[in-house]
C-alpha cells in the first residue's frame, strides 16, 4: 500500500518511467529482429538461377564443415577442401557460355615476412600453402585489365569445423561465381576469386598471392570476407585506403551494414584479417573488410557448426556481394597498380581520406566525405556558441550573455558528470557483486542479465547529478526559482546536454575518428526536438510535453539502441576470449568492462532525454526503485552459471613433451590455460569428471610462465597462469619414431668483422599433423635468413632476455634449412616448439571428460632447446 503515500509528482514520475520502459522495450524488440536477420527470407536450392541462393551456398558449406574432417594446416581435410573448391570451379568453367573467359588455377605459395600481431613482433616463413583462384572475364579482356578481387579463406582454426569462419565465406563465393556465370552478366572488368588456404596462420595465403602471383598488379579493388561469429549483420568493419570503396558500398549495397566508427575500434578485440595485407601492409588497394560479427561465442571453437549459423545471414551477404561486384567492375575509378601509381603521382582522381558513413538499421546508408564532415561536425559547436546571443536579443547585454553562457556551461558540466556516473555506478555494483559471488561473468551465457543488472543502476547514475543539483538549489532558496520550468529546461539543461554532444562531435572530428557521426546525429536530433518543442510547447507538467520533445528524437534513440545494443552484445560474446589477467585483479576485468560498456550505452541512449525527464525522475523514490531492481538482478544473477554449450568457456590444453634429441623424452605433462577471468581452479571445481582423472590428483602445479605456450605465440600472451601435471610418455614413444631435431649442416663461418654464421637444419621427425613450428632465438643474434634477412623487433617473454621469434609452416615432411648470424662469440640459444594436432588416446580421453560448457582446444607440443 506504499503507493498511496506517494506524492503526486512521484506518481507522475513512475508513470513516465513506465512509459519510457515500454518505449525502449519496443525499440529493443525491433533491434533484435534486425540484428538476427528476421527481415531476410533466405532462398532455397530451387531458387531461380539468376538469384543468389543461401540454400545452394549451404550445400557447399555442408560439404566443407561436415563431410570434410578438419581444414587445418597439416591435416588431410585442408587438401580435400582445396580439391572440392577447384572441382566446383572447373564445373562452372565447363558450363559457362562462349562469352566468358574463365581461368582456374591451383598455386603453391612460399614466402617470409615480419609483422606485428596482437601488439607483438614476429617473423613468418611458409612454403607450399595452396591457393585456388578463378578469373572470370569477357573474351575481349586483356591480362592487364583492372580487376575486382573477392577473397575468403578455406582453412579453419585449431579444433574448429569452421562453418562460419570461414566456410560461410567460401560457400558464398562459390554461389556468387555460379551466379555470375548463370546470370549471363558479362563483367566489363575481370573478377578474381581467391580461395586462400592459410589465413589462420596469420594471413599467409593472401601474402603469397599479393607478393608473387601474376594477377596481383591488376587488382583495382577487393572485398575481403571474414567471420568473427556465426552470422547476423555482415558489417563493413574496415575500408580504404581513401573513401572510394566505401562510397561504392553506400551506393550499391542491398542491405547496407557499415559503420565508419568500427574502424576506430578495430584491433581492440584480438584478431586480424587479410584486409591488412591487401590495403595496408603490401597492396595499398582500395577495398572492404566485411565480417559476420554476432555469434562470437562459437568463433574458433568446436561449436562453429552449420547449425549455429543465423538463417538469412548468407542470403544478405550474397545479395550485397553481387551488387558490390557489379558496382566495382563498372566504376571508372577501378584501376590497376600502374594506373593508381600514375594518378597518385599526378595527384588526380585520388581520395586519400576516409569518409564518414553508417547504416540506419540496414534500411539505408548515410554517407558524406571527410571534407563535408569537417564543416558539418563543427556546426553544433557554432550553434552552441551563438545560441546565448540569440536568446538574449530581447534584453541584450554583455552581462546577460555571459550569465547565459555560464548557465550553459554548468548544464554541460552537469551532463558530463551524469554520463560519468552512469559508468561508475554499474562498475561499483559489479565489483561489489564479485565480493559475494563464487564466480565472475554470470551474464556471459545469458546476456540479458547484464542489461537487467546494469541498466537500472546506470540510469541512477544519470539522475544523481540532477537530484543533487535540484536539492542543493531548493535548500539554498526556493524563491530564486523564478524562471518557468520550460525555460529552465531548454536554456540550461537542454543546451548543456546539446553542447556536450556538440563538443564531443568536434573532438572526434579533429582526432580523425569516424565516431563523430554518432554524436553528430544525436546533437542534430536534439536540436530538431528543441525546435519542435518550441513550436508545440506544453507548459503543464504532463506526458504531452515529453512526447512533443520525444517525437523528433525517436529515430536517433532507436538507432542508439540498435548500435549500442549491438556493440554490447558483441563485447559480451568476445569476453570469453579477451585473455586472463593475473590475480587478484584479473577476476574483475571482464565484469568491469561489461558494466562500463552498459553504462556508456545507457548514457548514449537516455542522455538526450535528460533535459526533459531529469527533473521529474530525479526523485528519491525513483532512485530507490531503480537501485532495488539492480540489486535484485545482481542477486538473481548469482544463481546463473556463466557458461553453457551455446556459450562455452575457452580452454587450451597441450600435451607438452620436452625432448633432448630425436628419440629421447625428458619430460611429459598436460598443461591447461584459460582465456577469461574464471580461473583454472573454477574449471576443475565444476568439471568434476575431468578433475577426477587419476593423474590430476597428485603432482600438479600452477605456473605463471608463458614460454610453455610458445607454440601458439602470440596468443600465448592471453594466458596468465597455467595448470600442469606430469604424465607418462610411453604412448608417445609408441606413436612416434622420431621427434623434431635441430642440427648444424655446415661449419661456422666467421667474417672479418667478427660475425659468425651458423647453418642449421630442422627435421620435424615423424610428427603427424604439424600446424606450425616456432623458433625462439636468444643471444647475440644480428641476422637470419628469414623475412628478407631482417630481424623483427625483439620480444621479452616472462622477463627473459630479448627473443626473436619466427613461425614456420607448410610441408612438414620436408626439412627446413636456414642460417643465423651472431655478432659475438656468446652462444645463440634456439628453442624449437612444434605444434602437432594429433593427440594420444589418453589425451583424447582426458579432453572428452570435460563438460559440454567447456570448449577444449587441444594439441601436442614438442619442445627442445639448443645452443650454438
Give mean pLDDT, residues 355-378: 93
Q: For residue 117, give the CATH number of its domain.
A: 3.40.630.10
Q: Which band of pLDDT confidence, cut at 50, 70 and 90, is reported for residue 686? A: very high
Domain boundary among 318, 350, 372: 372
When pLDDT is cut at 50, 70 and 90, the band that residue 42 belongs to is very high
Residues belonging to the chain: 868
Q: Which three cell numbers stand for residue 138?
A: 569477357
Cell reading at 31: 533491434
Contact present, 191 and 333 (Cβ < 8 Å): no
Q: Check residue 647 and report its DSSP letter.
A: B
Q: Would 843 be classed as within a structural domain? A: yes
Q: How many CB atoms lie within 10 A of CB 463?
A: 25
**812 within 8 A of 724, measured Cβ to Cβ:** no
Let me know whether 537 and 657 are in one domain: no
496 contacts: CB under 8 Å, gap ≥ 6? 407, 408, 409, 410, 411, 412, 413, 414, 415, 611
Total structural domains within the chain:
3
pLDDT at 348: 59
What the block records as the C-alpha cell of 571 is 563485447
595-629: pLDDT as tens digits: 999 999 999 999 999 988 988 899 999 999 999 99
Instruction: Render 764-800 in DSSP notation, one character per residue.
Output: -TT-SSEEEEEEEEESSEEEESSGGG-----EESTT-
Residue 49 lies in a domain: no
Q: What element of type H or E holds 371? A: helix 370-376
What pLDDT was estimated at residue 432? 92
User: Do the strands 191-196 and 147-153 form a parallel or antiparallel pair, or are they unpaired?
Assistant: parallel
Domain carrying residue 525: 2-34+377-637
Reply yes or no: is the peptide bond before residue 584 cis, omega within 30 of 0. yes
CB 94 within 8 A of CB 260: no
What pLDDT is attached to residue 667? 93
Residue 86, phi-psi category: left (phi > 0), alpha (psi -120 to 50), beta (remainder)? alpha
Region 724-751: mean pLDDT is: 89
Mean pLDDT, residues 398-408 taken together = 80
Residues 139, 229 share a domain: yes
pLDDT at residue 747 above 80?
A: no
**What does the pLDDT read at residue 538?**
56
Residue 512 located in a structural domain: yes
Burial label, 571 (beta-carbon count in 10 A; 0-12, 13-18, 19+): buried
Q: What is the DSSP letter of 669?
A: E
Query: What confidence score (pLDDT) does residue 475 get?
Result: 41
How many Å apart are CA 266 and CA 285, to the nearest integer?
Answer: 19
For residue 43, being part of any structural domain is answered with no
Same domain, residue pair 402 and 351: no
Cβ-based neighbours of 197, under 8 Å, separated by 6 or more? 73, 78, 81, 82, 129, 130, 131, 132, 153, 154, 155, 205
Question: Phi and psi for 781 in degrees, rounded to 5?
Answer: -75, 130
Instruction: Enter the pTM of the model.
Output: 0.93
Has residue 530 got a pLDDT over 50?
yes
Pair (458, 547) in one structural domain: yes
pLDDT, tens digit, 9 for 90 and up, residues 94-148: 999 999 999 999 999 999 999 998 889 999 999 999 999 999 999 999 999 999 9
Cell numbers describing residue 684? 576443475
Residue scoring higher pLDDT (746 or 340)? 340
Q: At residue 540, does pLDDT exceed 80?
A: no
Predicted confidence band of residue 487 (pLDDT cuts 50, 70, 90): low
Residues 382, 368 within the same domain: no
Supply 714's cell numbers.
Answer: 602470440
Mean pLDDT over residues 253-258, rounded?
A: 96
Query: Which residues does 442 contact at the CB level (< 8 Å), separation at least 6?
Result: 449, 637, 638, 640, 641, 642
272 lies in the same domain as 399:
no
| Alpha carbon distance 192, 143 (integer Å) | 12
Residue 462 has pLDDT above 70, yes or no: yes
Q: Look up residue 494 and give its three cell numbers.
A: 537542454
**Dist CA 352 CA 341 (whole Å):** 13
Q: Are residues 281 and 397 in the same domain?
A: no
Is residue 785 in a domain? yes
Residue 316: its pLDDT value, please? Answer: 97
Q: How confident is the model at residue 537 (pLDDT cuts 50, 70, 90)?
A: low
Q: Examine the fold and report which residue of 310, 339, 372 is the final residue of a domain before the chain moves on.
A: 372
Q: By mean pLDDT, which of 100-104, 186-190, 350-354, 620-624 is the weakest?
A: 350-354
Distance CA 775, CA 777 (A): 6
Q: CA dist 243 to 168, 249, 256, 274, Å?
A: 27, 10, 16, 19
3-state secondary structure of 243: coil
CA distance 749 to 806: 23
Grid cell locating 333: 575509378
Give percent of the chain above pLDDT 70. 93
Residue 783 has pLDDT above 80, yes or no: yes
Do residues 853 and 818 both lie within one domain? yes
Phi-psi region of 769 (alpha: psi -120 to 50; beta: other; left: phi over 0): beta
The predicted pLDDT at position 17 comes to 93
* Per-residue confidence band for 541, with pLDDT thresholds at 50, 70 and 90: low
Q: Is the pLDDT of residue 249 over 90?
A: yes
Are residue 480 and residue 507 in the same domain, yes or no? Answer: yes
What per-residue confidence (pLDDT) applies to 401? 79
Residue 390, C-alpha cell as written in the block: 540569440
Residues 541 and 460 grouped into a single domain: yes
In the DSSP assignment, the letter for residue 420 is H
Worst-scoring range by mean pLDDT, 132-136, 785-789, 800-804?
800-804
Report the pLDDT value the prediction gives residue 671, as an integer from 0 to 100: 93
Rounded to the nearest 5°, which phi and psi values hold at 846?
A: -65, -40
pLDDT attached to residue 380:
94
560 has pLDDT over 90: yes
Comparing 251-265, 746-760, 853-867, which segment has the lowest mean pLDDT? 746-760
Question: For residue 39, is it within any domain?
Answer: no
Whole-number Å distance between alpha carbons of 809 and 834: 10
pLDDT at 351 over 70: no
| Average pLDDT, integer, range 6-25 | 87
Q: Is residue 67 part of a domain?
A: yes
Residue 3 has pLDDT above 50, yes or no: no
What average pLDDT does the segment 222-249 reach?
Answer: 94
E strand map for 139-199: 147-153, 191-196
> 118 by DSSP, 3-state: which?
coil
Q: What is the mean pLDDT of residues 285-313?
A: 95
Cell triple for 94: 565447363
Split at pLDDT 50, 70, 90, the class of 800 is: confident
Contact present, 444 and 575 (Cβ < 8 Å): yes
Please say which residue of 603, 637, 671 terminates a domain: 637
Contact between 81 and 71 under an 8 Å Cβ cutoff? The reply is yes
486 versus 786: the higher-pLDDT residue is 786
Q: Which percentage of the chain shows pLDDT scores above 90?
A: 73
pLDDT in tens, 266-296: 767 667 899 999 999 998 999 999 999 999 9
Contacts of 75 (CB under 8 A, 6+ apart): 69, 769, 837
Which pLDDT band holds residue 4 (cuts at 50, 70, 90)?
Answer: very low
Shared domain check, 196 and 291: yes
pLDDT greater than 50 at residue 576: yes
By mean pLDDT, which of 369-373, 467-471, 652-656, 783-787 is the weakest?
A: 467-471
Beta-strand runs (E) in 635-676: 649-659, 665-674
In a shared domain, residues 323 and 425: no
Per-residue three-class SS string for 706-737: CHHHHHHCCHHHHCCCEEEEECCCHHHHHHCC
- DSSP letter at 755 equals -
Q: Mark out the alpha helices in 186-242 (DSSP H runs).
A: 204-212
What's the pLDDT score for residue 478? 39
Q: Is 803 left (phi over 0), alpha (psi -120 to 50) or beta?
A: beta
The answer to the question of residue 273 being in a domain is yes
Q: Torsion-angle region of residue 821: left (phi > 0), alpha (psi -120 to 50) or beta?
A: beta
> Cell numbers 548543456 correspond to what residue?
496
Confidence check: pLDDT of 691 > 80: yes
Average pLDDT rounded to a whole number, residues 544-561: 90
Q: What is the pLDDT of residue 690?
A: 87
Q: Is the pLDDT of residue 476 over 50?
A: no
Give the mean pLDDT of 316-339. 96
CA–CA distances in Å: residue 525 to residues 106, 362, 639, 811:
54, 20, 41, 59
pLDDT higher at 132 or 580:
132
Cα–Cα distance measured from residue 278 to residue 210, given in angstroms and rounded to the nearest whole number = 7
**CA proximity to 164, closest of 83, 225, 76, 239:** 225
Residue 219 has pLDDT above 60, yes or no: yes
Amino acid at each position: 500500500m506504499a503507493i498511496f503515500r506517494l506524492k503526486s509528482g512521484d506518481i507522475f514520475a513512475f508513470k513516465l518511467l513506465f512509459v519510457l520502459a515500454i518505449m525502449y522495450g519496443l525499440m529493443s524488440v525491433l533491434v533484435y529482429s534486425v540484428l538476427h536477420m528476421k527481415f531476410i527470407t533466405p532462398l532455397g536450392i530451387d531458387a531461380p538461377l539468376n538469384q543468389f541462393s543461401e540454400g545452394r551456398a549451404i550445400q557447399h558449406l555442408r560439404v566443407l564443415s561436415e563431410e570434410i574432417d578438419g581444414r587445418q594446416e597439416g591435416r588431410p581435410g585442408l587438401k580435400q577442401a582445396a580439391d572440392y573448391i577447384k572441382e566446383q570451379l572447373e564445373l562452372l568453367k565447363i558450363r559457362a557460355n562462349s562469352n566468358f573467359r574463365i581461368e582456374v588455377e591451383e598455386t603453391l605459395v612460399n614466402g617470409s615476412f615480419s609483422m606485428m600481431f596482437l601488439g607483438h613482433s614476429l617473423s613468418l616463413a611458409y612454403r607450399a600453402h595452396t591457393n585456388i583462384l578463378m578469373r572470370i572475364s569477357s573474351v575481349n579482356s586483356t591480362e592487364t585489365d583492372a580487376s575486382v578481387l573477392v577473397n575468403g579463406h578455406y582453412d579453419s582454426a585449431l579444433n574448429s569445423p569452421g562453418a562460419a569462419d570461414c566456410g560461410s565465406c567460401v560457400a558464398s563465393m562459390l554461389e556468387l561465381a555460379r551466379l555470375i556465370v548463370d546470370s549471363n552478366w558479362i563483367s566489363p572488368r575481370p573478377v578474381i576469386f581467391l580461395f586462400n588456404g592459410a589465413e589462420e596462420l596469420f594471413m599467409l595465403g593472401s601474402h603469397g598471392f599479393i607478393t608473387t602471383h601474376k594477377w596481383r598488379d591488376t587488382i583495382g579493388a577487393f572485398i575481403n570476407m571474414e567471420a568473427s561469429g556465426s552470422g547476423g549483420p555482415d558489417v563493413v568493419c574496415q575500408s580504404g585506403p581513401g573513401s572510394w570503396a566505401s562510397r561504392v558500398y553506400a551506393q550499391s549495397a542491398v542491405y547496407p551494414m557499415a559503420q565508419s566508427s568500427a574502424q576506430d575500434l578495430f584491433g581492440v578485440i584480438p584478431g586480424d584479417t587479410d584486409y591488412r595485407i591487401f590495403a595496408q601492409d603490401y597492396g595499398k588497394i582500395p577495398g572492404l573488410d566485411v565480417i559476420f560479427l554476432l555469434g562470437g561465442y562459437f568463433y574458433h571453437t568446436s561449436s562453429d557448426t552449420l547449425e549455429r549459423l543465423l538463417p538469412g545471414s548468407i542470403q544478405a551477404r550474397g545479395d550485397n556481394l553481387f551488387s558490390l561486384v557489379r558496382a566495382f567492375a563498372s566504376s571508372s575509378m577501378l584501376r590497376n597498380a600502374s594506373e593508381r601509381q600514375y594518378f597518385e603521382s599526378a595527384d588526380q582522381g585520388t581520395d586519400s581520406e576516409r569518409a564518414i558513413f553508417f547504416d540506419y538499421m540496414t534500411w539505408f546508408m548515410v554517407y558524406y566525405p571527410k571534407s563535408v564532415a569537417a564543416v558539418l561536425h563543427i556546426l553544433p559547436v557554432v550553434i552552441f556558441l551563438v545560441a546565448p546571443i540569440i536568446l538574449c536579443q530581447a534584453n541584450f547585454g554583455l552581462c546577460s550573455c555571459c550569465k547565459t553562457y555560464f548557465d550553459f556551461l554548468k548544464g554541460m558540466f552537469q551532463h558530463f558528470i551524469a554520463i560519468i556516473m552512469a559508468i561508475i555506478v554499474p562498475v561499483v555494483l559489479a565489483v561489489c557483486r564479485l565480493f559475494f559471488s563464487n564466480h565472475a561473468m554470470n551474464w556471459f551465457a545469458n546476456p540479458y542479465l547484464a542489461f537487467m543488472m546494469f541498466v537500472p543502476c546506470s540510469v541512477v547514475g544519470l539522475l544523481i547529478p540532477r537530484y543533487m543539483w535540484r536539492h542543493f538549489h531548493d535548500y539554498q532558496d526556493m524563491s530564486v526559482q523564478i524562471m518557468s520550468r520550460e525555460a529552465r529546461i531548454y536554456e540550461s539543461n537542454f543546451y548543456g546536454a546539446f553542447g556536450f554532444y556538440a563538443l564531443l562531435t568536434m573532438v572526434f572530428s579533429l582526432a580523425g575518428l569516424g565516431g563523430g557521426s554518432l554524436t553528430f546525429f544525436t546533437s542534430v536530433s536534439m536540436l530538431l526536438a528543441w525546435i519542435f518543442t518550441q513550436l508545440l510547447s506544453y507548459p503543464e507538467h504532463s506526458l504531452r510535453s515529453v512526447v512533443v520533445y520525444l517525437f523528433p528524437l525517436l529515430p536517433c534513440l532507436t538507432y542508439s539502441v540498435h548500435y549500442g545494443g549491438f556493440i554490447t552484445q558483441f563485447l559480451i560474446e568476445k569476453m570469453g576470449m579477451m585473455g586472463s589477467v593475473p590475480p587478484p585483479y584479473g577476476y574483475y576485468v571482464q565484469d568491469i568492462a561489461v558494466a562500463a560498456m552498459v553504462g556508456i550505452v545507457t548514457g548514449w541512449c537516455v542522455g538526450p532525454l535528460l533535459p526533459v525527464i531529469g527533473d521529474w525522475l530525479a526523485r528519491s523514490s525513483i532512485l530507490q526503485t531503480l537501485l532495488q531492481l539492480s540489486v535484485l538482478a545482481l542477486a538473481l544473477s548469482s544463481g546463473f552459471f556463466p557458461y553453457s554449450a551455446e556459450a562455452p568457456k575457452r580452454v587450451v590444453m597441450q600435451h607438452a613433451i620436452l625432448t633432448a634429441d630425436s628419440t629421447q623424452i625428458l619430460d611429459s605433462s598436460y598443461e591447461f590455460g584459460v582465456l577469461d577471468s574464471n580461473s583454472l581452479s573454477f574449471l576443475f571445481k565444476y568439471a568434476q569428471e575431468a578433475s577426477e582423472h587419476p593423474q590430476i590428483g597428485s603432482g600438479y602445479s600452477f605456473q605463471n610462465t608463458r614460454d610453455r605456450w610458445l607454440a601458439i605465440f602470440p596468443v600465448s600472451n592471453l594466458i596468465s597462469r597455467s595448470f600442469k601435471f606430469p604424465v607418462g610418455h610411453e604412448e608417445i614413444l609408441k606413436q612416434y619414431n622420431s621427434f623434431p631435431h635441430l642440427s648444424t649442416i655446415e661449419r661456422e663461418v666467421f667474417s672479418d668483422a667478427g660475425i659468425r654464421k651458423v647453418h642449421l637444419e630442422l627435421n620435424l621427425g615423424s610428427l603427424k599433423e604439424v600446424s606450425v613450428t616456432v623458433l625462439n632465438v636468444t643471444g647475440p643474434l644480428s641476422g637470419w635468413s628469414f623475412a628478407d634477412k631482417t630481424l623483427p623487433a625483439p620480444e621479452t617473454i616472462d622477463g627473459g632476455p630479448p627473443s626473436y621469434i619466427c613461425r614456420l609452416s607448410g610441408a612438414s615432411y620436408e626439412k627446413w634449412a636456414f642460417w643465423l648470424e651472431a655478432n659475438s662469440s656468446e652462444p645463440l640459444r634456439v628453442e624449437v616448439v612444434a605444434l602437432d594436432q594429433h593427440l594420444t588416446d589418453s589425451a583424447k580421453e582426458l579432453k572428452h571428460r570435460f563438460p559440454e560448457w567447456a570448449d577444449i582446444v587441444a594439441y601436442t607440443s614438442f619442445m627442445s632447446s639448443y645452443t650454438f
